[in-house]
Structure 1
C-alpha cells in the first residue's frame, strides 16, 4: 500500500513544522469540536434551570472518570505504537493496538456494571445538592451504560493518531460532536427527555463515532491492522501501556476528585456557585482541548523521532511546539479576560451565575498563557515513555497542589478561595514543568551526542574494512 509508506515517510523525513501541523490540526479540530458539544450540552441544559446546569457540572467529574480509562489506555498504547513504528516493527504496533482494545473493553464493562450501584453516592460526593441530585442521576445514568463505547472511542482515536491517521481521528470526533449537537435539542425539548436527553444524545453520538473508527480499521484504510488474531497480550506491551497511560489516568482521576471537591466547596454558596464554576470549567476546557489536541499531534511525531533516533527533528519539534501553543494560549487568555461576562451570559441569565462566573473566568485565565509549555512537555514525557516526570506533573497540578488549596483557601477567603485554587495550582505546576524540562532536554542532548559518536565509529569501521579489502 502506498498510503502507509507516505505516512511513515512523513514522520521520518517530512518537514518538521509542516508534519507537526499536518498531525496536529486535525487533532485540534477534533478536540475543539468535542469541546464545543460539551459546551452545547451546557447551553441547552441551561434553558431548563440553574439546578440542571448544576447537574451537568456535578456529573462532569464522573464523565472524566469514564474518559480517564479510555484516554489512559489509548495514550499508553499510542506511545508504544509510535516508538514501534519508528523502529520499523509494525507487528509489535499491531499487537499493542489489539491489546489496548481488549483491555479498554474489559474495563468499560466492569465500570458500567459497578457504576449502576455506586451512582447516587458518587454524585453526592461530587457536590450534588438536594435540588441538583435528581437531575444529576438522570444525566449520569445513560453515560454509565454507554461507558464501554465512550472509552473505546477514545482509545481508538489515540491509535489512529499514533499511526499518522490524524484525519480519520478528526472525522470520528467531528462526526460524533455534530450528531450530538443535533440530537441535544431534539431529545431534550422535542421529546421532553430533559437532562436525560442530553446524556442519551452523547452516548448515541459516541456509538456512531466508534462505528466509523471500526469501519476505517476493517476497510483496510489504516496502516495498522486491528483484528482478534492480533490480540496476544505480552508482559512488555501491557507494561508499556500501563507505564505511560497511568500518569494520564492519574491526571484524569485527580482532575475528577479536584472538580468534585470544588463543587462540594461551592455548595454552601448555592446552586448558582456550583453552576457558575461548572460553566467556567467547560469554557476553559475548550481552550485546553485545543492545546491538548496539538499535544496529541505532537506525541506520535516525538515518539517516532525518538524511536528512530532522529534527535535533531525531535528538538526542532519541541521548540516549534512551545512557540505555537504559547501564542495561542496568550491570545485566548486575553479574549476571555476582556469578554468574561459576555461568555458566561451565553449559558445563563441568572445574575448570581453571571457575577460569580465572570469573576472566576478571569481568574482561571491568568495562568492560562503558560499552559501550552506545560502540555507540550507533558506530551513529550509520555511520547518518550518517561512515566516518572509525567506522573509528577499529573499528581502536582490536580493533586499535591490543587486539593490542599481547595481545602484550605475557602476557610480564609470564602468563595474566592474556591475560585483561586485552580489558578494557583496551575501557576506552581508550570514552575515544576520548567525544572523537569531542563532535565529532559539535557538527556536528549546526551543521547544525541552518543548516537553521533556511534555513527562516527560505525563509519570509521566501514572505511577501515573497505581499505582492508
Structure 2
C-alpha cells in the first residue's frame, strides 16, 4: 500500500490499525514547498543541462556540414521539439499527473494499471508519428520553405529520426510513470546518460563516418534505446513504487480517459507552439538562408532556456497531483505560484544575460558573419522575453498536476492566432526582419500573461465541502467491522 494520501489520523475503534494503514509523512504532500520543489527539480536541471550540451554540440557539428545543413536543422527542429514535448511534457505530464493523483488518494493498484495503459498510449502515438512523418514529412518540409540542398538535408534527418519515433514516446512515457511516483532521479540520470551518448554517437556518425544528417538522427535513436532498457528494467522488476501489468491486463476506457483528459488536451499546447514556430520560420524563409539560420540559432537558445522551466514544472506535477489527490487544494495552488515565480526569475536572468552578450551564444555555431548578425539581432530583441515563456511552461505543468489544462492550451491558441495574424499583416506591409523579431517577442509576453490568468481563474479540485476518505482508511474501517461515516457535500 502506498504511503501517500492516507487520512490525517487513524480510525479510533479501540484497536490500533495495521501498519499498512498508518499515515506516513510524505514530503510531496506535507513538506516545505520551495525546498521540496527544488529537491525534485535539481536532478531535472542537471539532466537537462546535458540536454543543453546536446543542443550546442549538434548545432556545432551540423554547422561544420555547411550553412545549408544549419538551415535544414532550423526547418527540422520544430518537428523534433514537437515529438519530444508531446511525448515528454504533454502526454508524459498527463501520465505523471494521473499516477500522482492515484497515489495521493492511496490507490497503488490503480497507479500500476495506469502505468500499463500509459505504455500502450506511447506505442499508439509513436506509431502515428512514424507513419505520418514518413509519408508527409518531405512535403511538409517543402511547405515550410525547404529548397535544394536545405530540403535534402532536412529529409535525410526526418527519415531516420521519425522512422524510430516510437522510441522517444516509450522513453518519455516511462519517465512520466517514474516522475508520477516522485522519482525524479532515475529519469534524470537516464536523460543525462542519453545526452552524453547522443553527443558521442551523433558526432561520430555524422562527421567521422560521414553519414551527415542521417548520422545525427541515428545517434539520438541509439541513445534513446539505452534509456528505455534501463527504465524498463527498473519498472518491470518491481523496484519502482508502481509496476506496470502485462499479464491479465484488462483494457479500461476509464484508465485511458484519466491519462488522456490531461495528456491529450495538453498535446495541443506543444502542437500550437510548434505551429507558431513553423509559421514564423516560413515567414522568415523569405529573408534568405542567413536570416533563417540565425533565427534557428536563437530558437535553440529558447529551447535551452525553457528546459530550466521544464525542469521546475515537471517537479511540480507530482507535488500538485498528490496534493489534489489528498484534497489539499490550497497547497496545490501555492505550489503552482512558487514554481511559476522560480521559473520566471531563473529563465529571465539567464536569457537577459545572453541578450546583453549575444555573441557568447551565436558565435559558437557558425563562422558565417551574416548568420551571426541575424542571430545576435534576434536575441537582443527576443531573449529577455523568454522569462514569460518560462512562466507559461511552469503554469502549464502545474495545471497538468491539477488535471486542468484547458486554460494554458487556450493561451497557446491565442498566441498562435496572434503570430499568424500579425505576421500576415507584416508581410503585406513589407516589414523588415526586426519587425518579425518584435512580433515573436510580443507573443511570448502575451502567452505568459494569459497562461497565468487562466490558472488564476480556473477552479481546481472537487467541491470545497467534499470530504473523501482514502482507500486504506476505508479498508481498515471495514476490517474492524465499523462503517465509514457518510460523505458530506
What are the residue-to-residue correspondences of 1:54-453 with 2, within 5 Å?
54-71=71-88, 72-229=90-247, 231-397=249-415, 399-412=416-429, 413-440=431-458, 443=459, 450=465
Measured after TM superposition, the shift of residue 34 of structure 1 is: 2.1
Kindly indicate whether the alpha-carbon contact (under 8 Å) linking 2:354 and 2:360 is maintained by their aligned counterparts in 1: no
Which of 40, 47, 52 is the matching residue for 2:57? 40
My pick for the range that moved more, 259-268 or 106-115, is 106-115
Kindly indicate whether the alpha-carbon contact (under 8 Å) linking 2:3 and 2:26 is maintained by their aligned counterparts in 1: no
Deviations 1:239-261 (A, max 9, x none): 22222113331122222222222
- After superposition, the Cα gap between the structure-2 partners of 1:69 and 1:428, relative to the gap in structure 1 and judged at 3 Å, is closer
Kindly indicate whether the alpha-carbon contact (under 8 Å) linking 1:99 and 1:231 is maintained by their aligned counterparts in 2: no
Deviations 1:164-195 (A, max 9, x none): 11001101111110001111221122111112
Kindly indicate whether the alpha-carbon contact (under 8 Å) linking 1:41 and 1:198 is maintained by their aligned counterparts in 2: yes
- After superposition, the Cα gap between the structure-2 partners of 1:66 and 1:317, relative to the gap in structure 1 and judged at 3 Å, is closer
Measured after TM superposition, the shift of residue 374 of structure 1 is: 2.4
Q: Distance in 2 between matches of 1:106 and 1:159?
A: 17
Kindly indicate whether the alpha-carbon contact (under 8 Å) linking 1:69 and 1:104 is maintained by their aligned counterparts in 2: no
Measured after TM superposition, the shift of residue 94 of structure 1 is: 1.2
My pick for the range that moved more, 19-28 or 427-436, is 427-436
Q: Distance in 1 between matches of 2:116 and 2:462?
A: 35
Specify the SS of the correspondent of 2:26: helix
Hey, what does 1:460 align to over in structure 2? Answer: none
Specify the SS of the correspondent of 1:225: coil
Hey, what does 1:17 align to over in structure 2? Answer: 34
Number of residue equivalences: 451
Q: Which residues of structure 2 form unaligned runs of 5+?
A: 5-19, 470-484
Kindly indicate whether the alpha-carbon contact (under 8 Å) linking 1:29 and 1:290 is maintained by their aligned counterparts in 2: no
Kindly indicate whether the alpha-carbon contact (under 8 Å) linking 1:127 and 1:261 is maintained by their aligned counterparts in 2: no
Structure having the higher helix fraction is 1
- After superposition, the Cα gap between the structure-2 partners of 1:233 and 1:364, relative to the gap in structure 1 and judged at 3 Å, is farther
Measured after TM superposition, the shift of residue 42 of structure 1 is: 1.0
Kindly indicate whether the alpha-carbon contact (under 8 Å) linking 1:409 and 1:421 is maintained by their aligned counterparts in 2: no
Q: Distance in 2 between matches of 1:3 and 1:346?
A: 49
Kindly indicate whether the alpha-carbon contact (under 8 Å) linking 1:95 and 1:233 is maintained by their aligned counterparts in 2: no
TM-score scaled by structure 1?
A: 0.89
Measured after TM superposition, the shift of residue 69 of structure 1 is: 4.3
Kindly indicate whether the alpha-carbon contact (under 8 Å) linking 1:108 and 1:148 is maintained by their aligned counterparts in 2: yes
- After superposition, the Cα gap between the structure-2 partners of 1:318 and 1:115, relative to the gap in structure 1 and judged at 3 Å, is closer
Specify the SS of the correspondent of 2:148: coil
- After superposition, the Cα gap between the structure-2 partners of 1:290 and 1:7, relative to the gap in structure 1 and judged at 3 Å, is farther
Measured after TM superposition, the shift of residue 296 of structure 1 is: 0.3
Root-mean-square deviation (CA, aligned residues, Å) is 2.6
Measured after TM superposition, the shift of residue 310 of structure 1 is: 2.2
Q: Distance in 1 between matches of 2:314 and 2:248?
A: 25
Deviations 1:312-341 (A, max 9, x none): 432432343233222202211221111112
My pick for the range that moved more, 306-315 or 98-107, is 306-315
Measured after TM superposition, the shift of residue 267 of structure 1 is: 1.7
TM-score scaled by structure 2?
A: 0.86
Specify the SS of the correspondent of 2:145: coil
Hey, what does 1:26 align to over in structure 2? Answer: 43
Measured after TM superposition, the shift of residue 306 of structure 1 is: 1.3
- After superposition, the Cα gap between the structure-2 partners of 1:7 and 1:143, relative to the gap in structure 1 and judged at 3 Å, is farther
Measured after TM superposition, the shift of residue 126 of structure 1 is: 2.7
Measured after TM superposition, the shift of residue 386 of structure 1 is: 1.1
Deviations 1:60-113 (A, max 9, x none): 122134335423332222211111110001111111111111111122123323
